[in-house]
Amino acid sequence: MKHVELLTAKQVERVHDASLWVLENVGILAHHPPAREIFKAHGCRVEADGLVKFPPEVVAKYLRVCPTSFTFRGRDPQYDRTIPDCGPVVVTGSSAPNVVDPATGVERRATSTDIANIAHLINELKGFDIFSISTLADDAPPGQFSLSRFYPALKNCLKPVRSNTPNMDDLRQVIRLGELIAGGADAYRERPIINHHYCPMVSPLTMDVDSTEAVMYLTERGLPVYTTVVPNAGLTSPMTLMGTLIVGNAEFLAITVFQQMVKEGTPIIYASLPTVADMRTGAYAPGAIETGMLCMAQAQLGHFYNVPTGGYIGLTNAHSNDAQSGYETGMNTLGAVLAGATLLNMGGLFSSLMAFDFGKAVVDDEIAIMNKRVVRGMEFNEDNLALDVIAQVGPGGDFMKSKHTKSLMKTTAVFPKVADRGMRAQWEAAGRPDAQSRARAVARGILSQPNAAVWAPELDAQIRAEFPGLVAGEATWKEDETTA
Amino acid sequence: MGNEAMHEQLKKSIVDQDEDAVLEAVNKALAEGMDPREVIDKGLLPGLNVIGEQFECEDIFLPELMQAALAFQSAMTVLEPKIKEAGGAEQKKGTIVIGTVKGDLHSIGKNILKLLFETSGFEVHDLGIDVDLFKFIDKANEVNADIIAISALLTTTLIGQRDVIDALKDQGTRDKYKVIVGGGATTKEWADTIGADGWSGSAYDAVVLATSLVS
């Protein structure tokens, strides 16, 4: 597929040069002392206050050793996904504090049981490739904040699981969980099935302590970790798309160079969540079209650097599964895939990452499948020109009866589960169900079935023995049919 | 081959939507001396029933339904002469005159419906596309039709359906026929407004509708 480009090749080079200028002259403020040491030891100038200045040749040197792909691994290897080749890879949105209760429709704090149910749903929805743990777990026992998220997620999903941890203790616990699942530390190093993600770059041009430490720790050990840069025009970056692109790109180059300095050849992703703040109120607007545009331009930069790109694209500010939710997720993700982005963190969240909704996840699955159809493309080849069938049916004939139609009718087009293609009378007879109620019915159909992805009782017993007091992590779908 | 095994083979060939296999099974059954009515009633129709059920629960799609119907139709070209030879009358559910209204050249939906009507046992007289309103009435009179089925895809030609019904009223023959309407531009409300006897949103449902109107 020919990619859509918002910038010319010359403009892309100018953005690169401008980013180098920022890194050399403005610099990055690194708060984590060991990170400053790494920068200093590998050719950067580090000033007394922790400001790191990057000579362009140092950036160039470490960009050269950067791999061109990144692999996500799941409990079942058939769900492993490497980008850009398997792209677009579709990921759920993550770490929302709340969930829209499936029984009452009221938003509340999310629990580990919600995570188990969501994991089951994402495991079954074909549009999703990776389960980024969608919510927090309000019922987490003391000292098990992250375990209470990763345990129900991994237990109920064979696809790659992705998320973050707030501190080193949690990170080590989660890796231990991975080792138990893999059958030992060596086996885990062979196939690390927890895919870590952090945002160590805090716009503008700053590196934090906790996430930087986690990224260093994982990179040193060769465990999969990637980062996202998050500039917000008008607040943490200039009020131009170009200025925001450059701030985000400088931050991406800084963290990428850092990871290569820690360990050369570490796979990375150029991931971002760029926004333009809504200056009427200062509101955060990840569903705005400018987010999609910035991701499109960033995809061009990714092609320039020969690294996979994407990010949190397809989020929405909407609070229900309404038209806004659909057009914000639909338009932005379509733009991103047309530009060649191969990672879309898009699924299941309302209110700018605040709440997970089961119906929204099902609609986003459908949007993901549509986007993947676009990327599959027109499938140009001589057979597909179908000249013999055109001649055989002839003017005024119909293709419905042709064997050619029958042989291709299940693969040429997407069959949506949510979109209604019946006639108005049928829709009215069915009680005028809207997209949300149709989507909820799909979720209900999946979650009322047993989850075959759950691991063996022996492994479960072993894990529970290692972490006493652990949450149950069972997918149990409870829904009041009268409110369904 | 026993009769039951033969019925099963006939049925399976229809369910497989395989025209060659249908013809092979029909010829084999006739060669073994099976009554042509038995070929239809015990073999082919049970196969079509399965196809209908599969279509209703979306196990098979419209082109597959069509191919099973086409296979059945080509079997009937072999079986009908045999039934007549044996002096048996064709059993039919009823007679339908079908066409697309004046000014409208769309035929595919109408053709699908025609095929399904025929497959389900109706005698169908197809007037084609761009049909003048009096052609519907004259043909219905000529063949002593039970049903006049009028298709319209375009919103601009929809009114042609009402014209047929109004003309029947003017002639005082409205009660002689059941008039059913359908096509992309139509709705249940439209059918009610013009005083049609029925409307259907799909070809498959139209067969159910027509069957209920003649029984």
Q: Average pLDDT per run of 10 along chain A, which is 484 residues long?
A: 96 98 98 98 96 98 98 98 96 96 91 98 98 97 97 98 96 98 96 97 97 98 98 97 98 98 98 96 95 98 98 96 97 98 96 96 98 97 97 92 91 96 86 95 94 97 97 83 44
Q: What tens digit of pLDDT does each residue of B21-47 get? A: 999 999 999 999 999 989 998 999 899
Interfacial A residues in 247-276 facing B (CB < 8 Å) = none
A446 to chain B, closest Cα gap in Å: 18
Q: Return the pLDDT at A226.
A: 98
Q: Note whether B84 contacts A: Cβ–Cβ < 8 A.
A: no
Whether A366 maps to a domain, the answer reads yes
Quick one: tokens of A99? Answer: 């969930």
CB contact (8 A) between residue A422 and residue B201: yes
Distance CA A115, CA A127 (A): 19
Residues in chain A: 484
Quick one: tokens of A255? Answer: 């963290």
Quick one: tokens of A358? Answer: 């089961």
A-B contacts (CB, under 8 Å): 33
Distance CA B35, CA A248 (A): 81
* Domains defined along chain B, listed by start: 3-85 (1.10.1240.10), 94-214 (3.40.50.280)
Mutant choice from A393, A399, A400, A404 vs B, greatest count of B C-beta within 10 A: A400
Whether A176 maps to a domain, the answer reads yes
Q: Return the pLDDT at A23.
A: 98
- Residue A396: list chain B partners with CB under 8 A: 107
Is residue B9 classed as helix, strand or coil in its secondary structure?
A: helix
Q: Return the pLDDT at B87.
A: 73
Quick one: tokens of A232? Answer: 């917000």
The reported pTM is 0.89
State yes or no: pLDDT of B185 exceeds 90: no
- Residue A401: list chain B partners with CB under 8 A: 63, 66-67, 70
CB contact (8 A) between residue A423 and residue B187: yes
Whether A309 maps to a domain, the answer reads yes
Whether A400 maps to a domain, the answer reads no
- Residue A400: list chain B partners with CB under 8 A: 62-63, 66, 108, 112
CATH number at residue A81: 3.20.20.480
Whether A24 maps to a domain, the answer reads no
Going B129 to B132 to B138 to B141, the CA torsion angle's sign is positive
Cis peptide leading into residue A204 (ω within 30°): yes
Whether A215 maps to a domain, the answer reads no
Average pLDDT, chain B: 91
Distance CA A387, CA B125 (A): 33
Whether A384 maps to a domain, the answer reads no
In which domain, by residue range, is A275 found? 71-208+225-234+268-376
Q: For residue B112, what is the nearest residue in chain A, using CA coordinates?
A: A400
- Residue A423: list chain B partners with CB under 8 A: 187, 201
Distance CA A36, CA A39 (A): 5
Q: Note whether B151 contacts A: Cβ–Cβ < 8 A.
A: no
End-to-end CA distance of chain B: 37
Distance CA A434, CA A436 (A): 5
Q: Return the pLDDT at A481.
A: 47
Q: Among B149, B134, B151, which Cα is nearest to B185's?
A: B151
Distance CA B76, CA B55 (A): 22
Distance CA B163, CA B148 (A): 13
Whether A284 maps to a domain, the answer reads yes
Q: Return the pLDDT at B90.
A: 64
Contact (Cβ atoms closer than 8 angstroms) between residue A130 and residue A90: yes
The number of domains in chain A is: 1
Residue A292, sorted as left (phi over 0), alpha (psi -120 to 50) or beta, turns out to be: alpha
Q: Note whether A398 contacts B: Cβ–Cβ < 8 A.
A: yes
Q: Is B86 exposed, middle or buried (0-12, 13-18, 19+ CB in 10 A)?
A: exposed
Q: Strands B147-151, A81-83: parallel, antiparallel or unpaired by DSSP?
A: unpaired
